[in-house]
Structure 1
Amino acid sequence: MHAHQLGPFGVPAPLRRVSAGGGTPSPATRRLAAAIRLDPRLPQRLRAALLLACTAAQPFRSVCRLAAAAGCDRRTLWRDWRTAMGEASPVRLEDVLHWVILARALEAKSPHRTWIEVAAEVAVHPQTLARFARQFARRGLRAVATDPASAALALERAMVPHFGAAHDAGDEPVMRANAA
């Protein structure tokens, strides 16, 4: 790939896309992207990949797909992640991707759309969305639909504090273990 084909952070220009519908990412995803941009621990390659995950037209369902889109190997992203976040980090790289999927789903959900339709739009099974909702928003999909503002706040609190310039390793939020 030639240098003129690369965008900011070395991400291939054709891959710099925004969320479904050609609009902008959800407010929660924009805040996560802003925190990622400011996090001094993140190597450039990892930062670029995470920003791509936040802005891609379709969310990435695997680290392998994200790495391919970012032009590197999945093991490289995982190594960069462990180096930046630490071996004992409560958040895994794939958790960020799952969080973005759930944030997109919350943005797409309306009273006139079922979770099945929303899950199809973000290309995951509805049970997967339900698992992500329990993991990050700490409630089921029915509760998320009943009180989306509270769910969005819980979602942000589950991920955004792990990143950013003001990140204080002594005050890390704790993420609940993944549900099987």
Structure 2
Amino acid sequence: MVSDTLFFEAHLDNVAYDLAVSPPVLYGEEAKQAAKKYGSLDHGAYLWKNNENTVALKNKDSISTAAHELRHAWQHKYEHTRFNYNLSAKQSRFRAFFSRKIYQATYFFNRKEIDADNFAADYCRRNQLSYDLRKAKERILISKISRISISIGLIYMLSSIAYLINVSIT
């Protein structure tokens, strides 16, 4: 029987081969330290700002997370402009903080994340990885629900503003 680690690493190599990317992959504490400047490491992260081109994974237990992060490496390598990997690492502290806050607020609308989620789910589906496919589908569902919730919130906020403007004019 193949160990979980070997199974994971075989799929990691397979995803990298499918995408024609080969970034270094960090795990555990080393990954957490490398990802600090990007924020926290919940599950995984693609580190690209300083030309690191590195994938950081919390551990070796989620093929869907690995596929998701490797898809970001593919986006960065082959579709750099389309997926807007143009933010400079030399931004001022204020601009970097502001950019990060905007990214967090729009995360569920972000084309990069939607593409990476869909790729991870598709990879898991093609390789009959039911557990990881379920996790990938849950992530997509959470993303869709969040987009709907945020949209409803924005509509409510804008209609409230429009009402207040209308009341103050009359």
TM-score by length of 1: 0.27
Rg (Cα) greater in structure = 2
More contact order relative to length (CA 8 Å, sep ≥ 6): 1
Higher strand share: 2
TM-score by length of 2: 0.28
